[in-house]
């Protein structure tokens, strides 16, 4: 057993902080490479059809242009199974904004200018980008994201709903949302040697290095190796610093392939590619819009008899992604009869993907507003309603919880937040503002992905290096892993240096599913123990030992989830309907917190993103053109500082003895879950108006 000797649990400052604030941290695009060329994509201006002709003469004539590559002359890829990544392999256009070419030039300006001169003619086919619940052709995917089954049906939901003394039957919607991080997606591709054999094939020993901005260097490596037909050991992905990801850098996207294809077109030249903000709206993934019908049946006392959560959402024509929106309803409340389903519309839209808390984030908007509606219908306090429906064991698996402290979070939050001040809906007018309080529950599963390995080396002089190909996307992983290693080795924090963000390091799983600290951390603990086991406390310089992340048998025996309570106070301008969130509080139960400082920033960051989802974010698809028309940060609103007045997060002091050596469950995503519902519920409390469609903009509340 590792004893936590003082590094874990301490609010250590970010180890990479000084490098970041002093500008020494090398982000992908800024990497100095010899003699770089610059790529700028040409994007489809139709949503469906095919490219008929491309006139690149004017582009090629621009001074400094080195090459214009299209599907006619792009390098053939070894594996085109993943259509998102089959870049420039055919004339087909599957969504507006898809790559149809790339210009490579001596400067980024020349590349961009020339890209605008490439004339592409299309044979346009009718496209369809509009999600509706009543559209024909909705289908059930084989499974939904995370490997969950698509539908569940327990008991007899219809009968229970019919017999229910109190019921709620409502439709909730969330729009297309975008997780554009601060740092745009960028890749620098370097081939070595830079020359090809006469047939355009790889040299025997060709190696590819990609400086990238990714949540998982090893995933990018294995994917690119497959796509380009290279052995993985000849691909190296380097990504030590990442300016945010929120899921959008969780898997490789088309731009990674495009950078490599572009570099093949200019032998001997590394190629730099950074997406523009506008391009990211078509090429970096997004959250599907959702249409969610929630039905709740309960007795007069509020005890649930039935929960049905049925979701309609979209996927792209070229690649399936099925957000697991209704999965949370399977385990959240103790209703004997439960039904969940996911139906997808195949649309001619960009490829949806992971966005912070895929599934739970949109799903808990619907479920938790519905619970508020049920509380109102039963005349119960919403906290009391949730307490009455808190299940003893996981309703889905029947397993005991590894630790379910939702009710504690709710009750503790109620005291801290001043929940008792809440008045009846629409009754609290302060000046010209209607004030209201709202609450919602939050949860996120404990994920721990196998496949990580850590290696510990003793450098002499009391210094250790820990190597693992993990990624710190701003989460604090770098610091947390240093703390974990220090305690596991029994040495001071400053004696440990962690190396991450490079696929030449021991393999690590992706920074996703809030799994990083627990998965990588378990591997680090195992490696440190292995090291001490072999070398004891007095290792020779150069000593090295490694270990894989150990299995956790408790995963099969317990239901493991984090929980939280989200509180919001809103002020709604009685004249204009403008909503301001004056206070937010999250109380979380997440197992052990490795670093309170970085954890707090994860929580309040998630809650802020939830605020943004509640009030601001909406991608507007123009169905005539098939593209998101508000594709920049002036028009696609995310919360600004002025919108985020007072956001606070606290957590229960606990450890989850079933989640491996750390006793932690992961914290990256739970902060967003439930936050939009808490705000929507507060808006109802303030105004008496129930808003079921996000975002809640002033016009909706205007009187």
Partner 1 sequence: MTPFEYLRAEDPAEAVAAVAGRPGAAFLGGGTNLVDHMKLGVAGPDLLVDVSRLPLDRVEETADGLRIGAAVRNSDLAAHPLVRERYPVLARALLSGASGQLRNVATTAGNLLQRTRCPYFQDVTTPCNKRVPGSGCSAIGGYTRYHAILGASEHCVATHPSDMAVAMVALDAVVVVLGPGGARTLPLAELYRLPGDAPERDTVLEHGDLITAVELPHLPFARRSAYRKVRDRASFSFALVSVAAALDLDGGRVRDVRLALGGVAHRPWRAARAEEELRGGPATEDAFRRAAEAELIAARPLPGNAFKVAMTRNAVVATLRALAEEGR
Q: Which residues bind partner 1 (CB under 8 A)?
A: 45, 109, 112-113, 116, 432, 575-578, 580, 615-616, 620, 622, 624-625, 627, 629-632, 634-635, 637, 639-643, 697-699, 702-703
Residue 156 vs 643, nearer CB to partner 1 = 643
Question: How far is the C-alpha of 283 from the C-alpha of 304, rounded, in Å?
Answer: 42
Apex CA 100: angle with CA 183 and CA 352, to 5°?
Answer: 50
Task: Compute the least distance from the CB of residue 116 to partner 1, in Å.
Answer: 5
Question: How far is the C-alpha of 52 from the C-alpha of 75, rounded, in Å?
Answer: 19
Residue 392 vs 699, nearer CB to partner 1 = 699
Q: Where are the alpha helices (DSSP H) in 231-332?
A: 254-265, 277-283
- CB burial class (10 A; 0-12, 13-18, 19+) of residue 480? buried
Task: Compute the least distance from the CB of residue 276 to partner 1, in Å.
Answer: 8
Residue 197 vs 575, nearer CB to partner 1 = 575
Residue 107 vs 465, nearer CB to partner 1 = 107
Question: How far is the C-alpha of 16 from the C-alpha of 240, rounded, in Å?
Answer: 10
Question: How far is the C-alpha of 315 from the C-alpha of 321, rounded, in Å?
Answer: 6
Task: Compute the least distance from the CB of residue 256 to partner 1, in Å.
Answer: 24
**Cα distance between the two ends of the chain:** 62
Residue 116 vs 460, nearer CB to partner 1 = 116
Question: How far is the C-alpha of 181 from the C-alpha of 178, rounded, in Å?
Answer: 9
Sheet holding 290-298, edge to edge: 152-154, 337-347, 304-316, 290-298, 166-174
Task: Compute the least distance from the CB of residue 117 to partner 1, in Å.
Answer: 10
Answer whether 98's CB lies under 8 Å from 282's CB. Answer: yes
Nearest CA-CA partner of 485 in 495, 500, 470, 475 = 495
Question: How far is the C-alpha of 480 from the C-alpha of 9, rounded, in Å?
Answer: 9
Question: How far is the C-alpha of 175 from the C-alpha of 617, rounded, in Å?
Answer: 8
Task: Give the active site residues.
Answer: 669
DSSP 9-23: TS-PPPTTHHHHHTT
Residue 42 vs 164, nearer CB to partner 1 = 42
| Residue 206 C-alpha from the chain's centroid | 34
**What's the DSSP call for residue 492?**
-
Residue 179 vs 214, nearer CB to partner 1 = 179
Question: How far is the C-alpha of 659 from the C-alpha of 560, rounded, in Å?
Answer: 8
Strand bridging mode 49-55 / 92-93: antiparallel
Question: How far is the C-alpha of 99 from the C-alpha of 86, rounded, in Å?
Answer: 10
Residue 29 vs 478, nearer CB to partner 1 = 29
Task: Compute the least distance from the CB of residue 573 to partner 1, in Å.
Answer: 8
């Amino acid at each position: 057993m590792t004893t936590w000797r003082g590094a874990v649990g301490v609010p250590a400052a970010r180890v990479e902080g000084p490098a970041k604030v002093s500008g020494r941290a090398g982000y992908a695009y800024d990497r100095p490479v010899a003699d770089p060329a610059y790529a700028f994509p040409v994007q489809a201006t139709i949503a469906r059809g095919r490219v008929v002709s491309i006139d690149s003469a004017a582009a090629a004539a621009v001074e400094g242009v080195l090459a214009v590559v299209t599907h006619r002359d792009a390098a053939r890829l070894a594996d085109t199974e993943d259509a998102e990544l089959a870049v420039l392999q055919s004339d087909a256009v599957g969504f507006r904004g898809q790559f149809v070419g790339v210009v490579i030039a001596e400067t980024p300006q020349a590349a961009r200018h020339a890209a605008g001169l490439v004339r592409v003619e299309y044979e346009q086919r009718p496209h369809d980008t509009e999600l509706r619940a009543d559209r024909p052709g909705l289908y059930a995917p084989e499974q939904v994201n995370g490997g969950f089954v698509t539908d569940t049906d327990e008991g007899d939901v219809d009968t229970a709903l019919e017999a229910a003394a109190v019921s709620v039957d409502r439709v909730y919607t969330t729009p297309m949302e975008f997780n554009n991080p601060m740092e745009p997606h960028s890749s620098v591709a370097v081939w070595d040697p830079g020359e090809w054999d006469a047939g355009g094939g790889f040299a025997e020993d060709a190696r590819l290095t990609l400086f990238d901005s990714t949540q998982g260097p090893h995933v990018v490596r294995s994917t690119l190796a497959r796509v380009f037909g290279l052995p993985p050991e000849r691909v190296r992905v380097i990504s030590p610093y990442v300016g945010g990801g929120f899921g959008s850098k969780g898997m490789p996207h088309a731009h990674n392939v495009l950078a490599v294809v572009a570099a093949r077109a200019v032998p001997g030249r590394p190629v730099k590619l950074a997406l523009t903000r506008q391009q990211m709206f078509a090429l970096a993934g997004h959250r599907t819009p959702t249409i969610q019908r929630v039905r709740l049946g309960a007795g007069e006392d509020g005890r649930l008899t039935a929960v049905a959560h049925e979701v309609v959402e979209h996927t792209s024509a070229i690649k399936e992604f099925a957000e697991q929106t209704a999965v949370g309803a399977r385990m959240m409340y103790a209703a004997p009869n439960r039904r969940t389903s996911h139906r997808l519309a195949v649309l001619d839209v960009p490829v949806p993907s992971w966005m912070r808390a895929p599934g739970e984030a949109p799903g808990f908007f619907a479920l938790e507003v519905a619970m508020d509606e049920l509380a109102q219908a039963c005349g119960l306090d919403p906290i009391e309603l949730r307490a009455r429906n808190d299940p003893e064991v996981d309703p889905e698996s029947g397993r005991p919880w590894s630790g379910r402290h939702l009710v504690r979070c709710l009750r503790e939050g109620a005291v801290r937040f001043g929940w008792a001040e809440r008045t009846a809906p629409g009754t609290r007018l302060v000046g010209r503002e209607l004030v209201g309080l709202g609450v919602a529950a939050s949860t996120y599963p404990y994920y721990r992905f196998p496949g990580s390995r850590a290696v510990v080396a003793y450098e002499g002089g009391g210094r250790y290096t820990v190597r693992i190909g993990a990624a710190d996307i701003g989460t604090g992983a770098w610091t947390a892993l240093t703390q974990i290693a220090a305690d596991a080795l029994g040495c001071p924090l400053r004696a440990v240096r962690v190396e991450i963000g490079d696929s030449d390091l021991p393999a690590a799983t992706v920074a996703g599913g809030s799994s990083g600290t627990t998965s990588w951390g378990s591997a680090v603990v195992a490696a440190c123990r292995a090291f001490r086991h072999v070398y004891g406390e007095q290792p020779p310089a150069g000593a090295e030992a490694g270990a894989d992340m150990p299995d956790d048998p408790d995963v099969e025996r317990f239901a493991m989830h984090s929980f939280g309570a989200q509180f919001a106070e809103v002020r709604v301008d009685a004249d204009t309907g403008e909503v301001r969130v004056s206070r937010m509080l999250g109380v979380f139960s997440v197992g052990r917190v490795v670093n309170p400082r970085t954890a707090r920033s994860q929580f309040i960051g998630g809650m802020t993103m939830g605020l943004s989802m509640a009030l601001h974010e909406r991608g507007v698809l123009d169905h005539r053109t098939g593209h998101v028309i508000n594709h920049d940060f002036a028009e696609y609103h995310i919360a600004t500082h002025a919108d985020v007045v007072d956001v606070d997060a606290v957590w229960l002091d606990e450890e989850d003895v079933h989640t491996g050596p750390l006793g932690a469950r992961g914290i990256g995503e739970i902060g967003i879950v439930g936050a939009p519902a808490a705000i929507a519920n507060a808006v109802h409390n303030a105004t008496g108006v129930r808003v079921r469609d996000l975002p809640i903009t002033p016009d909706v509340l205007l009187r």
